[in-house]
Amino acid sequence: MKATAETVGKEQKNRRIKMRFSTKSVVVTGVASGLGRAIACLLANEGAKLVLVDRAREQLEELTAILRNSGTEVGEVVGDVSEEATSRRAIALAKSQYGSIDVLINNAGINPTGAIAETDPSTWQRALDVNLKSAYLFCREAIPHMVEAGKGVIVNTASIAGQRASTAESVYGVSKAGLIMLTRTIARDYGSKGIRANAICPGVLESVMADRLTRMSPDQVAARDQRFAPTVPLGRLGTYEEIAKATLFLASEDASYVNGAQLTVDGGLTA
C-alpha cells in the first residue's frame, strides 16, 4: 500500500490496521509532499487527530481536504516553520481543538547541496533555520504542555548525513547533526517528565526526494539514483512509506522504552 492521501479512508476500514493513535493529537510539520505527506496519511489511517503545518498553502489545503473527507479530524497552519509565530499557532491550535498535544513530529526540512566554499551565508542560515531552529521552536512550545500532562512524544526527522559526513551536503549534515543532539538533550532533560524524544535517520530515498534537492535537475537526480542504489546492501533506495512506518513506530506506544535514540533506516548503507 502506497502512503498517499488517496488511500486514507480505505485503510481505516481495514481491520488489520492497528489504531495506535485513535486517542492521540499529533502535530506534523513539512507535510505538503514527500515524507511528511506519507506520515500524515499513515497517522490518519491509524485514527490520529492532526494539526498539519507547511508554508505551501495550496498543497496543504488539498491534503487537509482529502483527510477531512475521509473522516479525519485535522487542523492546518500555513506558515514558515522557522518563525516563532508559526510554532505558537500550531501548538495552540492542537491544544484548543483537541485539548492536548500528545505527539510532535518535526519533519520540515530543506537540503541545499554544496561544499562549504560553495555555500553562501544566506543559504547556510536558511538551512539551519528550517532544519534545526524550527524543531527547537516547536519543541519549546509543545514541551510545557507535555510536562503538564505528564507524557508526550517527539520525533525529529534527521538523516544519516547527521551521523557521518556526506559529499556536498555541508550545511545539511551540520543541521541534521544538531537535530540529533537536540533530540538527545530533550530525552535527557525531560524523560523523567514522561516525555520521549527520538530521531529518525533516513538514508537515500526515492527520486521524488528531488523536491528537497534544490540544486539538482531531474537528470541529475536520475543519475544519483543509479549511482546510489547499488551501494545499498538491499540493492535499492528507500521509499517515503518505509520511513513513515518507522516514524510511527517511534511515535507509538510500541516504542515505549525507546528514548534518545537514532533509528537509522537506510537499507544497510551505513552498516
DSSP string, the chain: ---SGGGTTTGGG-TTS--TTTT-EEEEES-SSHHHHHHHHHHHHTT-EEEEEES-HHHHHHHHHHHHHTT--EEEEES-TTSHHHHHHHHHHHHHHHS---EEEE-------B-GGG--HHHHHHHHIIIIIHHHHHHHHHHHHHHHHT-EEEEEE--GGGTS--TTBHHHHHHHHHHHHHHHHHHHHHGGGTEEEEEEEE-SB-GGGGGG-TT--HHHHHHHHHHHGGGSTTSS-B-HHHHHHHHHHHHSGGGTT--S-EEEESTTTT-
172 is catalytic: yes
**Which cell is 106 given?**
518535526
Q: Could you give the CA distance from residue 241 to residue 36 in angstroms, rounded to a whole number?
A: 10
**Which are the contacts of 175, defined by CB distance < 8 A and separation ≥ 6?**
109, 127, 128, 131, 132, 162
Task: From residue 2, give the alpha-carbon distance in Å to each of 35, 38, 70, 81.
Answer: 12, 8, 16, 27
Cα-flanking dihedrals φ and ψ of residue 6, to 5°?
-65, -20
Q: Which of 98, 172, 190, 240 is catalytic?
A: 172
Residues involved in catalysis: 172
